[in-house]
A and B are shown apart, each in its own frame.
Chain A
Amino acid sequence: MTGMRRQGLSEQSFAFLILVPAAVVIFGVVLFPLLATFIYSLQNMELISEEKGKFLGLLNYLRVVRSDWFWQALGRTMYFTFVSLAVETVLGLLIALLLNTSFHGVGLLRVLVIVPWATPGIVTASIWKWIYNPEYGVLNAVLTRLHILGQYRAWLSDPFLAMNMVIIADVWKMTPFAIIFFLAALQFINKSLYEAATVDGAGVLSRFRHITLPYLVPTMAVVVVMRTVEKFKAFDVFYVMTRGGPANGTKVLVYEAYLRAFGNLQYSISSTVSYLIAVLVLVFTVIYVRLMKRGEASEL
C-alpha cells in the first residue's frame, strides 16, 4: 500500500499490482491443471499398468481418434449441440418478437420468462426426469388423457428418444437466454426504419425480413457461439436424467471423459478426450473474439 503513494509507480506497475490476485487464482488453478492434463495425455497413466508414467507421445491421441466410441460421442455431442441450439434460437427469436409487442400481461410474461433460466441445472434435470417418469410421469398422464398416446411410454429407455427428451429439458432451461438477448437487441432497433418501410408499403413479413432479421444477425451470431461452448460443456442434465445411457445413447464427449476418469480410472484416455474438447473450445473462443471485434468495428 505504501508503494501506491509514491509518485513513481508507473501505470504498468499499478496495472500488474491490481491484476495479481485475479491472475494468481485464475492461472494458478486453471493453467497448472491444463498443462498437467496435457502431460497426462502424452503418458501412460493407467493405475494398474506396469509402465505407468511412461512417455507415449501422441499414441493416446491415435488410440482415441482410431476408436469408434470417440466419433460416436462426438456425433452425439454435435447432435445435442446443433438441435438444441437451433430450437432455442428459433424459439427464442419468436418469443422475443412476441414479447416485444404490447398486450395485457406482457410485462409479467417478460419477467416470468427468466424463471427456467434461473432454475439450477440439477433441479431442471430432476423436474424433467420426474415429468418423464414411465409410471407416474405427468407427461404420460396428460398425453393419454388427450388421446395423443395410447399407452404409457418409457421416455428415457430408447437411446435416440432419450437424447431428444434431454434436449427438450435443455431447451426449456436455455431458451430464456436467447429470449433475453434478442429482447435487449430489439429495444435498440431504430423505429423510424419501420415507419419509413410502412410508408413505402412494406408488409409485416417483408419488414421482418429486411429490417429486423438483418439487424439481429450479429446478436444471433454471438448467442450461437457462446451457447455452442456451453452445449459442449453440458453435464448436469445427462448426469441426472440418463447417466449417458440407455445403450450409450446420450453419452456426450464431456460425459465420456468424466466416466473414463472417475468410473474406469483411465486417466490418460480421459485426459486425451478432454484435450480434444479443449481444442474444439479454443476454436470457438477464437470465433467468438472475431465476432466481437467485428461488432466493435462496425460501430465506428
Chain B
Amino acid sequence: MIRNRAFPVVQYFFGLLVLLFVISPVAWMFITSISIHRDIIAVPLKVIPRQATLHRYLDVFTNPDNEIAHAFEIAMRNSLIVSAIVTIISLVIGSLASYAFARLRFAFKNSIMYLILFTYMIPSVVVVMPLYLLLSKLGMLNTRPTLVLLYLTMTLPFVIWVMQSYFGSLSKTYEESAAIEGCNRLQVLWHIYFPMARPGIIATAILSFLIAWDEFFFALIFTSTLDAKTISVAIAEFSGKHYVDYEMIAAGGVIAALPPVLIAIIFQKYIVMGMTAGGIKE
C-alpha cells in the first residue's frame, strides 16, 4: 500500500519497541526467578545474571518445608480447581440461558438482559459486605465452593452476554428443520445448536477460566488459609511482607502467569472472537 523506502525501517524500529514494551517486564520477572540472590541485589545491577538456578521452581513442586514454595503449590492447586469448576458450571448454565436470549421470545427479555449486564459491571466492593456478613454467619468463609459461587456471579453474566450475541449471529434454518422433523426443544439444543455454536462455546470457556484465574478481590476477602487461598492471594501476601523474597515471588509469578498466558497464546483466535463479540459488528 505504501511504497516508501524508509517505511520498512520505521516498521522494524517501532516493531522492536513494541516487542521490548511487551516482553521486558515478563522477561525481568523470569530472570529474577532464576537468579541467585547476590546478583539480584548487586549495585550496579547485572541485568544478565552470571549464574542461573531452577531450584525455586523445584521447591514449589517438591519442597513442603519451604514456607513460600509450599504455599504457592497449594494455592496453585486451589486456583486450578476453582477456575476449572467455575468454567464448567458457567458453560452449562450460561449457554442454556444465552439460548433463551438468542432464540426465544419471553416477557421482560430486554430488561432481564440489561439487568444481567449491569450485575456484570458493578464492582465487587459494592456487594462484598452483606455477602461477607451472610457467609460468615453460615460458616462458609474460606472454602473453595464459596469462591466458586462468587466467581460464577462474574463469569455467568459475561458468558451469557457474549454467547447470546454469538448465538444470535447463527442461522436458524437447521433448528427449524429439526423442529419440523419432530425434535423437541432440548434435542434441538443438544444436537443442532451446541455443535454449531462450538467456537463461541470454546471462546467463552477460555474467557471464564481467565476471569476466574485473575480474580483477586473476593479471594482476598473470603479466604484466609491455604484451605482455599488462590495463587493471586498467596503472591500478594508474600510480596506485602516485611522481608520480601523477591526471587521466590518472581518464581511464583511465573508459575501463576503460565496457565493463562499459554491459554491466551494457543487460543488467541477464540479469545479475540469472544472479547469482540457484541463489541464489533462485521
Q: Tell me if B210 counts as interface (CB < 8 A to partner A).
A: yes
Residue in B closest to A204 when the chains form the complex, CB atoms: B2
What are 15 A-B pairs at a CB distance below 8 A?
Answer: A21-B93, A29-B153, A33-B126, A36-B130, A40-B130, A99-B18, A103-B8, A112-B265, A118-B210, A119-B260, A122-B232, A122-B236, A177-B275, A185-B276, A281-B118
A263–B123 Cα distance when bound, in Å, is: 18
Hey, what's the 0/1 contact readout for B251-282 against A, CB within 8 Å counting as 1?
Answer: 00100110011011100100110011011111
Q: Which of A49-57, A58-66, A123-131, A157-165 contacts B (4 or more CB under 8 A)?
A: A123-131
A101 to B280, CA, bound (A): 21
Q: Which residues of B contact A119 (CB under 8 A)?
A: 26, 257, 260-261
Shortest Cβ distance from B19 into A: residue: A109
- A contact residues, range: 35 or more
Which A5-49 residues have C-beta < 8 A from chain B? 5, 9, 11-12, 14-16, 18-19, 21-23, 25-27, 29-34, 36-37, 40
The verdict on A74 contacting chain B, using a C-beta distance below 8 Å, is no
Q: Which residues of B lie under 8 Å from residue A98 when comparing CB positions?
A: 11, 14-15, 18
Is the pair B15, A15 in contact by a Cβ cutoff of 8 Å? no
Chain B contact residues, CB within 8 Å of chain A: 1-2, 8, 11-12, 14-15, 18-19, 21-23, 25-26, 28-29, 32, 40-41, 43-45, 47, 93-94, 96-97, 99-100, 104-107, 112, 114-119, 121-131, 134, 149-150, 152-153, 156-157, 160, 184-186, 210, 213-214, 216-217, 220-221, 231-233, 235-236, 239-240, 246, 249-250, 253, 256-257, 260-261, 263-265, 268, 271-272, 275-276, 278-282
Majority secondary structure of chain A interface residues (helix, strand, loop or mixed) = helix
Inter-chain CA distance A104–B12, complex, in Å, is 8
Asked whether B29 lies within 8 Å of A120 as measured between CB atoms, the reply is no
Q: Is the CB of A281 within 8 A of B280?
A: no
Least Cβ–Cβ distance between A235 and chain B, in angstroms: 5
Q: Judge whether A275 is part of the interface by a CB distance below 8 angstroms.
A: yes
Task: Decide: A34 and B122 in contact? CB cutoff 8 A.
Answer: yes
Using Cβ atoms and an 8 Å threshold, which residues of chain A touch B21?
Answer: 172
The A/B interface has a contact count, at CB < 8 Å, of: 295
Minimum C-beta distance from B152 to chain A (A): 5
Q: Are B280 and A285 in contact (CB under 8 A)?
A: no
From A129, A261, A277, A278, B129 is in contact (CB under 8 Å) with A261
Indicate if A78 sits at the interface (CB-CB under 8 A). Answer: no
Q: At the interface, yes or no: A194 with Cβ under 8 Å from chain B?
A: yes
In addition to A105-B15, A114-B265, A141-B43, 19 A-B residue pairs with Cβ atoms within 8 Å of each other are A15-B106, A23-B97, A23-B112, A40-B130, A98-B14, A115-B22, A118-B265, A120-B232, A122-B236, A123-B253, A123-B257, A129-B239, A133-B246, A144-B44, A180-B275, A188-B280, A235-B216, A236-B217, A278-B123
Q: Tell me whether A278 and B122 are in contact in the complex, defined as CB-CB below 8 angstroms, given that A25-B149, A122-B232 are known contacts.
A: yes
Residues in B whose Cβ lies below 8 Å from that of A31: 119
Contact with B along A263-300 (1 / 0, CB 8 A): 00001001100110110011011001100100110010
**A181 at the binding interface (Cβ < 8 Å):** yes
Distance of A242 from chain B, by nearest CB (Å): 11
Residues of A within 8 A of B (CB): 1, 4-5, 9, 11-12, 14-16, 18-19, 21-23, 25-27, 29-34, 36-37, 40, 95, 98-99, 101, 103-106, 109, 111-131, 133, 135-136, 138, 141-142, 144-145, 172, 176-177, 180-181, 183-185, 188, 194, 198, 204, 219, 222-223, 226, 229, 232-233, 235-236, 239-240, 243, 254, 257-258, 261-262, 267, 270-271, 274-275, 277-278, 281-282, 284-285, 288-289, 292, 295-296, 299
Residues of A within 8 A of B106 (CB): 11-12, 15-16
**Are B184 and A33 in touch, CB under 8 angstroms?**
no
B152 and A106: CB pair below 8 A? no
Alpha-carbon separation in the docked complex, A21 to B156 (Å)? 10
Which of A18, A135, A243, A296 touches B96 (beta carbons < 8 Å)? A18
Of all A-B residue pairs in the complex, the 10 with the closest CB atoms, nearest first, are A36-B130, A118-B264, A141-B45, A33-B130, A33-B127, A22-B97, A15-B106, A122-B232, A15-B104, A18-B96
